[in-house]
Amino acid sequence: MLTLKQIYDSPEQIVAGLEKKHFADAQATIERVMAIDAERKAAQQKKDAASAEMNKISKSIGALMAQGKKDEANAAKAQTGELKQAVATYEQEMDTKEQELTNLLLTIPNVPYAIVPEGASAEDNLAVVLGNWPNRPMADAIAKNGAVALRDWDSATDETIAAERIAQSEKLPHWELAKKYNLIDFDLGVKISGAGFPVYIGQGARLQRALINFFLAEANKAGYTEIMPPTVVNQASGYGTGQLPDKEGQMYHCEVDDLYLIPTAEVPVTNLYRDVIIDEDKLPIKNCAYTECFRREAGSYGKDVRGLNRLHEFSKIEIVRIDTPEHSDASHKEMLAHVEGLLKKLELPYRILRLSGGDMSFTAALCYDFEVYSEAQHRWLEVSSTSNFDTYQANRLKCRYRRNEDKKVTLCHTLNGSALALPRIVAALLENNQTEDGIRIPAALQPYFGDDMIR
RNA sequence: GGAAAGAUGGCGGAGUGGUCGAUCGCGGCGGUCUUGAAAACCGUUGACCUGCGAGGGUCCGGGGGUUCGAAUCCCUCUCUUUCCGCCA
């Protein structure tokens, strides 16, 4: 959540930022925050004064008792009744205001950075990079403007057109290929678990393992420490990274033990640093983790969820960084370069979008999505979301560091990104690399897969 | 599942009703010594809220209670460790 300091330092900027994020009633909400806080302070001042008085009397009683002046001690005791009542009253008022304030702050999203595009939805995202694109449709149009608004050139993502193209395309969608080469059995998954839980078989399973190892190896090369965290977390962790309370319905919940299946490794890996004060010398912290991710995806249905496009359980390698405010932007860029490097090595056509204010997640200050182009579905598939949360998450987590300069305890910046999520990568790999002889495995992946083709 | 013990500052670990925000050790920081470093020695070192400041307040796992006064006593919850049982 935002800190009060941020709000007091520049209320107008915060309001403008919230409006950019399409948060309703920004002005009124910020004014309310300050009003409640003023009430809280007033209550605290009254309470502090009463407590100070109380402490003084208590101390004097101790002294009087020690000197054996029992009568005077008893006289002092008699004075405390009213004071005690006053302390209790003010204290309760203070607690109420504090709770009210926290509850309100929790409803306020993070404020986007200046370079975040204006806009309410995905339509307004800004394509900043297009890669591995030569000899593909629309190349010319795109070459002219390296960075253009998505809606100018991306009519191919329109669902109705896509449906027609699938019908016309000589390329098979991945769910057909999965069947043809016996890589994934969706029906078996339905039988043992339910829709959205595919069973990977033979070369399909081997491809999963190859990708996991490839992504982890690349992350290790880039200096990320591999973590293997639990995939089940407690409530406090859910609150720490912001999945709770608002996204409660998106997580699987084991009620008997009140534990949650993680929707991303971000949750356990970032919560490693909850309630921690880190030495500045240890920053930046660079961790990576492969985990299974579990998402209920309540309410999604239809063509979007076909095949591997949207699953309840999937494998993902996540990179998580904790850094100083001064260095977090450079950290973010390094992460973007890392993720882009993976897509280059996989030889998949991709684009990088800077998300608009309205399309960003609640907690992000700056977010880039990576999408790969699926040549049978004629759609862009999101495979990574790489965000800087500024101090927003750290404030909730109480993740702080001790500055070398003045030894002050300061909130860290947290960042994370997928590097990468497997299912849609697999979808694109299968669809884009299909040949008459089988599915070509990109050179970088061959050592991990152990072959150059799926046959 | 049964039994017992425990939860204290960055870490370890004292403290069983009144200058205890907390002895001490480690670590950190400053200094002496040294060409420099190490060692040794001396000093210093919690977080948060509030106030222009002086200062005031809160915090010894969470919550509640007793008391003029609680790290210390009582209740309760959570978690951890050990032993037994079960078991990959």
Asked if residue A275 belongs to a domain, the reply is yes
CATH of the domain at A89: 1.10.287
Could you give the CA distance from residue A416 to residue A341 in angstroms, rounded to a whole number?
Answer: 16
CA A399 → C1' B40, Å?
A: 37
A62 with A129, same domain: the answer is no
A46 with A194, same domain: the answer is no
Distances (CA, A) of A313 to A88, A194, A200, A424: 50, 10, 12, 13
CA A409 → C1' B46, Å?
A: 11
Question: In the block, which residue shows the tokens 């991306």?
Answer: A154
**A76, A106, A136 — which closes off a domain?**
A106
| Distance between start and end Cα atoms, chain A | 51
Of residues A190 and A163, which shows the higher confidence score? A190
A368 with A344, same domain: the answer is yes
Q: Which protein residue lies nearest to nucleotide B58, measured between its Cα and the C1' atom?
A: A48
Share of residues in chain A with pLDDT > 70 (%): 91
Tens digits of per-residue pLDDT, A314-346? 999 999 999 999 999 999 999 999 999 999 999
Q: What is the DSSP letter of A424?
A: H
pLDDT-derived band at A217 (thresholds 50, 70, 90) equals very high
> Encoding tokens for residue A301?
């249905």
Helix (H, G, I), strand (E, B) or coil at A409: strand
**A71, A106, A141 — which closes off a domain?**
A106
Tens digits of per-residue pLDDT, A230-250? 898 888 888 888 887 777 788
Of residues A148 and A166, which shows the higher confidence score? A166
A325 with A226, same domain: the answer is yes
pLDDT-derived band at A181 (thresholds 50, 70, 90) equals very high
The structural domain count of chain A equals 2
pLDDT, position A120: 85
Asked if residue A98 belongs to a domain, the reply is yes
Element (H, E) at A366: strand A366-374
A41 touches strand B (CB under 7 A): yes
**A55, A72, A106 — which closes off a domain?**
A106
> Is A136's pLDDT higher than 70?
no
Tens digits of per-residue pLDDT, A277-320? 888 888 899 999 999 999 988 766 665 678 898 899 999 999 99
Q: At what angle do helices A26-67 and A11-20 cross, to 10 degrees?
A: 130
A58 touches strand B (CB under 7 A): yes
Q: What is the mean pLDDT of chain A?
A: 85
A178 with A317, same domain: the answer is yes
Beta strands in A224-341 (DSSP E): 225-227, 232-233, 253-254, 259-261, 276-279, 285-294, 313-323
Q: What is the DSSP letter of A304?
A: G
Q: Which of A440, A416, A443 is nearest to A428 (CA)?
A: A440
Could you give the CA distance from residue A407 to residue A333 in angstroms, rounded to a whole number?
Answer: 28
| For residues A37-50, average pLDDT | 91
Asked if residue A307 belongs to a domain, the reply is yes
Phi/psi of residue A435, each to 5°?
Answer: -135, 175
- Residue A400: nearest nucleotide (C-alpha to C1'): B47
A45 touches strand B (CB under 7 A): yes
CATH of the domain at A258: 3.30.930.10
Domain that residue A56 falls in:
4-106
Please identify residues in chain A, positions 300-359, with a C-beta within 7 angstroms of any atom of strand B. none
CA A318 → C1' B87, Å?
A: 33
One-letter identity of residue A72: E
CA A404 → C1' B43, Å?
A: 21
List chain B nucleotides near protein: any atom < 7 Å from a Cβ: 10, 18, 28, 46-51, 55-58, 68-69
CA A66 → C1' B18, Å?
A: 9
A60 with A205, same domain: the answer is no
A88 with A129, same domain: the answer is no
